[in-house]
Amino acid sequence: MSELQEKLKGEKGIHTDFENEMTYGEYLSLDQILESQKLLSDHHDEMLFIIIHQVSELWMKLILHEMKSAIIAIKQNKMQPAFKMLSRVSKIQTQIIQAWDVLATMTPSEYLEFRHKLGKASGFQSYQYRQIEFALGYKTKHILKIYQKDLELTKTLEQALNSPSIYDVAIQALAREGLPINKDLLTRDFSITYSGDESVAAAWKQVYLNVDRYWNLYQLGEKLVDIEDWLQQWRFRHMKTVERIIGFKVGTGGSSGVNYLKKVLDHRFFPELWDLRTSL
C-alpha cells in the first residue's frame, strides 16, 4: 500500500453510507446534466461542440444572476455588494472567452461532418445572451420574433427589454449624488438602446476628476468598463473562432456569420465611460 493510500485509510470520518443521505451527484443533479448531450451524428467532435455551448450557457446563467442582483443593489445605493457581483461577472467572462480556445481545436473538415444536423439552430438564438445584452443596455426588439413559439420565454425577454439596464441605474446613481443629469433620461423608454447624452458625459468627467469625492461612482464606472472590455474580447474571440472554422459562410441561423459578428464589435454599451479617456 502506498504512503498516500495509508494516509487516506486513516481518514476515519469519511462518509460512505448514503442510504438516507443526499450525495454530491444528487445535489448537483448530475444525472440530468450528464445525460443532456444528445448527439445527432456519430462524429466524435459533436460532443465537444455541444458541451462547449452548454457550459457557456451555464456561465451566462450565472452572469445574469449576478447582473440582476447588481442592478437591484445599485438602485438601492448598496454599492459594495454590487461591486463584488460585477467583479465576479468579469471573472466569469474570462472563462467563457477561454472556451473558444477549446472549440477552436475543431477543424473546418470536422465541423462539416455534422453541421447539417443543426438545421437552423444557432448560437445566434441564445436567449440568455440576449438577456445579457438587454441588461447591459443593447436593446433589439425585433429579435424577439425568434422566440415567439415559447410564450413564457417571450414574456421573460419582453420584461428584460423594458427594464432599465445596468447603465440606466448607473446614470440614476449619478443623479442621486447631485450631478446634473438630463431628467428625461431618468424616465426614458428603457426598451430603446441608450445612445449617449452630454449631461452624462459631463457627470462622469466630474467623477473622474474628483475621485476622492465620488469614490463609489468612480469604482462603478471602472467595473462597467471591465465588463464591456471583457464582453468585446468575448465577441472578438467568437468572431475569430467562427472565421477559423466556417470562414465567411452564412450562419446556420441565417445571419451573415462573421460579417454580423464584426458589426456588433462596433457597438459601445457605455459610450461616455470610453469617451472620457480622451477628454480627460
Domain contains 1:
no
Task: Please check whether residue 16 lies inside any domain of the structure.
Answer: no
Would you say residue 177 lies in a domain?
A: yes
CB 167 within 8 A of CB 270: yes
Q: In which residue ranges of the chain is pLDDT below 50?
A: none
Owning domain of residue 83: 44-113+125-246+256-278
**pLDDT, tens only, 191-215:** 999 999 999 999 999 999 999 999 9
User: Which residue is it, cell 443526499?
Assistant: 22
Q: Tell me if 210 is assigned to some domain.
A: yes
Q: What residues are designated binding site?
A: 49-53, 111, 115, 238, 252
**What is the gyration radius of the CA atoms in the chain, in angstroms?**
23
Would 30 be classed as within a structural domain? no
pLDDT of residue 3: 76
CATH number where 231 lies: 1.20.58.480
Which residue type is seen at 71? I
Res 213: pLDDT: 97
**Distance of alpha carbon 155 from alpha carbon 142, whole angstroms:** 14
Q: How far apart are the C-alpha atoms of 211 and 280, rounded to whole Å?
A: 13
Q: Quote the CA–CA distance of 52 and 50 in Å, as a whole number.
A: 6
The grid coordinates of residue 47 equal 460532443
The predicted structure's pLDDT at residue 185: 96
pLDDT at 214 (0 to 100): 98
Residue list for the binding site for heme: 238
| Confidence (pLDDT) at 1 | 59
Question: For residue 155, how far is the Cα from the chain centroid?
Answer: 20
Query: Is 18 a member of any domain?
Result: no
| 33 within a domain of the structure (yes/no) | no
Q: Is there a contact between 97 and 89 (Cβ–Cβ < 8 Å)? A: no
Total number of domains in the chain? 1
- Confirm whether 2 is domain-assigned: no
Binding site as annotated, residues for substrate: 49-53, 111, 115, 252
In the structure grid, which three cell numbers stand for residue 39, read together?
448527439
- Confidence at residue 263, expressed as pLDDT on a 0 to 100 scale: 86
Eight-class DSSP state of 188: S
